[in-house]
Homo-oligomer: A and B are copies of this chain.
Amino acid sequence: MQLLEERIRRDGIVAPGNVLRVDSFINHQMDMELLDKLAEEFYRLFCHERVDRVLTVEASGIAIAALVAQRFRVPLVFAKKSKSSNIPDTVYTCPVRSFTHGNVNTILVTKDYLHAGENVLLIDDFLAHGEALRGLADVVLQAGGHVVGAGILIEKSFQHGGDALREAGMRIESLARIAAMSPEDGVSFL
């Protein structure tokens, strides 16, 4: 999506270690007029599907996911992250490795908030190695639900997390797909 790509070119900062900082308009500070347009685009892409629920993971995915759920008029659920190994049996869980932070979090969703037979749309800000998205899809499957697809703001395609998920049949719509990036040369898109 040209709007988002232009904004990333203008305001995104490529830091060492394949980190793209979009703190000034998507994370931490959020340009709500931009996010509104991005949510509208996700709605356009998925509005022909039955969507019963939107699922994201805390914290930076919550705002865009809320705007998408608002348009579909369905509940939003956000998976919580926990470092604790003391997990009650009232939740679905999946371990999720963070390549950025070099650790493993467990994502949790209370069983009451995912249901068998429901169509769930996954929304997140980033897709890199695909661990968070895989974890979200996993808890939906544990509940007997169906993943309609995933709406991603920024996919770091060069890290290939989307490839395996697409090969496994997941529909992934990324509004900006980064082919390559470096602090010296900036960002180039697919």
What residues of chain A have their CB less than 8 Å away from a CB belonging to chain B? Answer: 23-24, 28-33, 35-36, 58-59, 62-63, 65-67, 69-70, 73-78, 80, 109-110, 112-113
Q: Are B76 and A30 in contact (CB under 8 A)?
A: yes
Q: Which of B28, B30, B73 contacts A69 (CB 8 A)?
A: B30
Hey, which chain B residues are within 8 Å of A80, CB to CB?
28, 59
Per the bound structure, the CA–CA distance linking A67 and B28 in Å amounts to 16
Q: Are B77 and A28 in contact (CB under 8 A)?
A: yes
Extra A-B contacts (18), CB below 8 Å, given A24-B112, A58-B59, A63-B76: A23-B110, A23-B113, A24-B113, A28-B77, A28-B110, A28-B113, A29-B76, A29-B77, A29-B110, A30-B66, A30-B77, A32-B73, A35-B66, A59-B59, A59-B62, A62-B63, A63-B65, A66-B67
CB-CB nearest in chain B for A54: B32
Do most interface residues of chain A lie in helix, strand or loop, or is the interface mixed? mixed
CB distance from A41 to the nearest CB of B (A): 16
CB distance from A42 to the nearest CB of B (A): 14
Per the bound structure, the CA–CA distance linking A59 and B36 in Å amounts to 20
CB distance from A118 to the nearest CB of B (A): 12
Hey, which chain B residues are within 8 Å of A32, CB to CB?
66, 69-70, 73-76
Per the bound structure, the CA–CA distance linking A62 and B65 in Å amounts to 10
Hey, which chain B residues are within 8 Å of A30, CB to CB?
66, 69, 75-78
Q: Which of B58, B62, B73, B78 contacts A66 (CB 8 A)?
A: B62
CB distance from A119 to the nearest CB of B (A): 16
CB-CB nearest in chain B for A79: B28
Hey, which chain B residues are within 8 Å of A109, CB to CB?
28
Hey, which chain B residues are within 8 Å of A75, CB to CB?
29-32
